[in-house]
A = this chain, B = another copy of it.
Amino acid sequence: MNEFSLIKTYFEAIASPREDVLFGIGDDAACVQVPEDMDLLISVDTLVEGIHFLKEWDAYDIALRAVNVNVSDMVAMAATPCWITLAITLPIIDPSWLKRFSLGLSDALRFYRIALIGGDTTKGPLTISLTIHGVAPKGRAVRRKGAKAGDAIMVSGTLGAAALAVAYLNDINLDDGSKKILMDKLLCPKPRMDLIPLLRAHASAAIDISDGLTADLNHILEASQVGATLEFARIPVHPLVQQIQKENAIAFALGGGDDYEICFTLSKDAVQYFADPVLNCCCVGEIESAFGLRAKTLSGEIVPLQARGYTHF
């Protein structure tokens, strides 16, 4: 099997058709149609073996995670994901690995109605790089820049579970039920597609929480040239983090990456549009004109907060 038959066997078959794909895999480039009233959003995420996933992970999960992480970037921009290209570097052709990877990719893409339109297959250390393309009505994509003093800071879902999963990957004292919940959070983040129309309508700024809430919120603050105070009492800590970490629960929720929830800001009178419990969003603080990131601790004290998050180097 060479790379041509590999592509035919594992990738061409799963290229879910969309009417806006004029042609996909099989030419020097894919060709798609961007609707006239839409801007094009483009984002790339690379997963490296040993850094973003472990060798022993099921290739199905690796594929799911790769797609989910990319979709999350589109949600953060309030863009609808449409097309994806896959650059995959493989040490060898391992049919059983490829079959699982291809199945995971296929399931994830079908779920989001994203078309796999092309890619490149090369030999080398296992690396998966997806470039995702989405659309948003002209001028309506939500950026990191745009938060204003007085805006509420919102967070979707709960935080800290993915970081706890990393910390407890090999902990045999954790019961199987909890382990499964945590690993699911780590392996299969669920991008909040349901928030896209609401973010488009109301958010002044947004980012996905990949490096940790404080680090990612800090990107919004720097881009928007504002500051903020987070209220510890309002941070939506994942119940298992609360239960297992107790003392460090807030630290896990603030500093842990990989949750892929959305942190966004909006004017306070728009908070009501996110009040429906089914949306599972909550206000965690306020944007302020004074630069820097502060916290209101559980005892009510205001303290400076370090914006630490995951860095590669």
- Residue numbers of A with Cβ under 8 A of B are 1-4, 6, 22-23, 26-34, 36, 39-52, 73-74, 76-77, 79, 83, 85-87, 89-90, 92-93, 117-125, 127, 129, 131-134, 136, 138-139, 141, 143-145, 206-208, 223, 311-313
**Looking at chain A's contact residues, is the secondary structure mostly helix, strand, loop, or mixed?**
strand
Which residue in B23, B49, B131, B139 is a CB contact (below 8 Å) of A131? B131
A294 to chain B, nearest CB (A): 21
**A312 engages B3 (CB within 8 Å):** yes
14 of the cross-chain contacts (CB-CB < 8 Å) are: A1-B313, A2-B313, A3-B312, A22-B139, A28-B208, A29-B42, A31-B136, A31-B141, A43-B85, A46-B87, A46-B120, A51-B122, A85-B131, A121-B312
**B2 engages A117 (CB within 8 Å):** no
Question: A216's closest neighbor in chain B, by CB?
Answer: B28
Question: A77's closest neighbor in chain B, by CB?
Answer: B29
**B124 engages A48 (CB within 8 Å):** yes
Q: A36-B36, A119-B44 are in contact. Are A73 and B124 (CB under 8 A)?
A: no
**B133 engages A50 (CB within 8 Å):** no
- A48: chain B residues at CB < 8 Å are 89, 122-125
Question: A42's closest neighbor in chain B, by CB?
Answer: B30
With A3-B311, A42-B133 given, name 14 new contacts (CB 8 A): A6-B313, A27-B145, A28-B144, A29-B79, A29-B134, A29-B141, A42-B118, A44-B87, A44-B120, A44-B131, A45-B120, A46-B122, A87-B129, A120-B129
Which residue in B40, B83, B129, B144 is a CB contact (below 8 Å) of A34? B40
Which residue in B51, B93, B121, B144 is a CB contact (below 8 Å) of A123? B51
Which residue in B3, B34, B313 is a CB contact (below 8 Å) of A92? B313
Which residue in B1, B40, B49 is a CB contact (below 8 Å) of A40? B40
- A132: chain B residues at CB < 8 Å are 29
A200 to chain B, nearest CB (A): 13
**A144 engages B43 (CB within 8 Å):** no
Question: A6's closest neighbor in chain B, by CB?
Answer: B313
A202 to chain B, nearest CB (A): 18
**What CA separation (Å) do A32 and B85 show in the bound complex?**
17
**What CA separation (Å) do A121 and B93 show in the bound complex?**
26
